[in-house]
């Protein structure tokens, strides 16, 4: 048995609880098909009724898959989306989960990511920390992020935090694999200030020079740096420029490697995203969702410091 198939079998069994006779749908595109085929073989080894569905590559993260694939996801017991661009923040994922499907999305995952880094974490530990941070977000009302003399503030009042623990064992649970983040949809229009992005950007990768973002009334109005114009072009001129997400990484094994799926889980980082957030408690449907990673920030929730240079100020963390 190949290493990839063995890792895939452990992942399906441990993180998704795939059982004999369950219907397992693997959604992929040509770019990720070789890795998807390892998951397909692993599903068969577990005795699941496994189906591999290959679609044309999406143009950007957050773009919906074809209706035939959305319907297959909705009707399956378990769906794994291993694609170049993310299906996490799509209606297809949301509807499937609402119908009881256990869904794992693996956008941009590489062979290296399958064998090292975030995928190798102790997911019981990841689950504990993720749920602790999520509870803090749920109770919080106002967030302030500080780094390098810049500050960004926004409201999260009345919004529910989402724990992406990497373990989706109950009907309707969903999230990324590998995982380890707590995230929330800020109140639309509430964000004001600046934030310095110095880690990576979804769809662009690791950045050599920091990118300074200026946000007014929840909308990105400028992005100063070498990758700024490319980011703005991807987001477009509409609601793609609205602040959609605030997330905190909770996986000690995750690395900054230029693939947002792993980057946004890295311990000591936070991320903000622009575009769609209607799938996790917000109101924006923009057809795009781009995450940006910030290393070692200071984070305050309702005036109380949660992180100092990325380190949590509670428990043993």
CA 174 to chain centroid, in Å, comes to 11
Burial readout 47-71 (b: 16 or more C-beta within 10 A, e: otherwise): ebebebbebeebebbbbebeeebbe
Largest CA distance in the chain: 56
CA 53 to chain centroid, in Å, comes to 22
Residue 122: its pLDDT value, please?
87
Q: Considering only 46-50, 120-124, 187-191, 284-288, which range has the smallest mean pLDDT? A: 120-124
Cα(261)–Cα(255) distance, rounded to whole angstroms?
A: 10
Indicate whether 173 pLDDT > 90: yes
Work out the burial of residue 200: count CB atoms within 10 Å of its CB; fewer than 13 is exposed, 13-18 middle, 19 or more buried: buried
Indicate whether 105 pLDDT > 60: yes
Rounded mean pLDDT of 69-86? 97
Indicate whether 201 pLDDT > 70: yes
Indicate whether 216 pLDDT > 70: yes
**Average pLDDT over the chain, rounded to an integer:** 95
Indicate whether 317 pLDDT > 50: no
Confidence band, pLDDT 50/70/90 cuts, at residue 141: very high
Q: Which CATH superfamily is domain 3-115 in?
A: Thermophilic metalloprotease (M29) (3.40.1830.10)
Neighbours of 131 (CB within 10 A): 14
Confidence band, pLDDT 50/70/90 cuts, at residue 1: low
Structure tokens, 126 = 């990841």
Residue whose C-alpha is closest to residue 102's, from 20, 28, 45, 18 = 18
Domain ranges of the chain: 3-115, 119-312
Residue-wise pLDDT for 249-301, tens only, equals 999 999 999 999 999 999 999 999 999 999 999 999 999 999 999 999 999 99
Length of the chain: 317
């Amino acid at each position: 048995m190949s290493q990839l198939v063995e890792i895939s079998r452990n992942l399906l069994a441990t993180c998704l609880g795939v059982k004999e006779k369950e219907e397992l749908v693997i959604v992929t595109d040509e770019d990720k098909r070789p890795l998807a085929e390892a998951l397909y073989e692993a599903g068969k080894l577990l005795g699941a009724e496994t189906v591999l569905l290959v679609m044309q590559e999406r143009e950007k993260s957050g773009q919906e898959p074809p209706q035939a694939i959305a319907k297959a996801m909705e009707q399956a017991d378990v769906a794994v989306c291993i694609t170049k661009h993310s299906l996490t923040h799509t209606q297809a994922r949301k509807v499937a989960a609402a119908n009881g499907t256990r869904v794992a999305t693996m956008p941009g995952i590489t062979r290296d990511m399958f064998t090292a880094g975030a995928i190798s974490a102790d997911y019981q530990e990841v689950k504990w920390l993720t749920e602790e941070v999520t509870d803090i977000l749920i109770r919080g009302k106002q967030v302030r992020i500080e780094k390098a003399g810049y500050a960004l503030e926004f409201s999260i009042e009345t919004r529910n935090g989402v724990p992406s623990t990497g373990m989706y064992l109950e009907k309707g649970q969903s999230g990324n694999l590998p995982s380890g983040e707590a995230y929330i949809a800020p109140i639309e229009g509430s964000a004001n200030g600046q934030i310095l992005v110095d880690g990576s950007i979804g769809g662009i990768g690791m950045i050599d020079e920091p990118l300074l973002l200026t946000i007014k009334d929840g909308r990105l109005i400028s992005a100063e740096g070498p990758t700024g114009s490319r980011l703005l072009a991807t987001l477009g001129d509409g609601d793609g420029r609205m602040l959609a997400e605030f997330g905190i990484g909770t996986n000690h094994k995750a690395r900054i490697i230029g693939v947002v799926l792993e980057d946004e889980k890295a311990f000591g980082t936070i991320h903000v995203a622009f575009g769609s957030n209607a799938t996790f408690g917000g109101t924006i449907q923009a057809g795009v969702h781009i995450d940006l990673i910030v290393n070692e920030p200071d984070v305050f929730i309702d005036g109380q410091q949660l992180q100092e240079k990325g380190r949590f100020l509670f428990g043993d963390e």
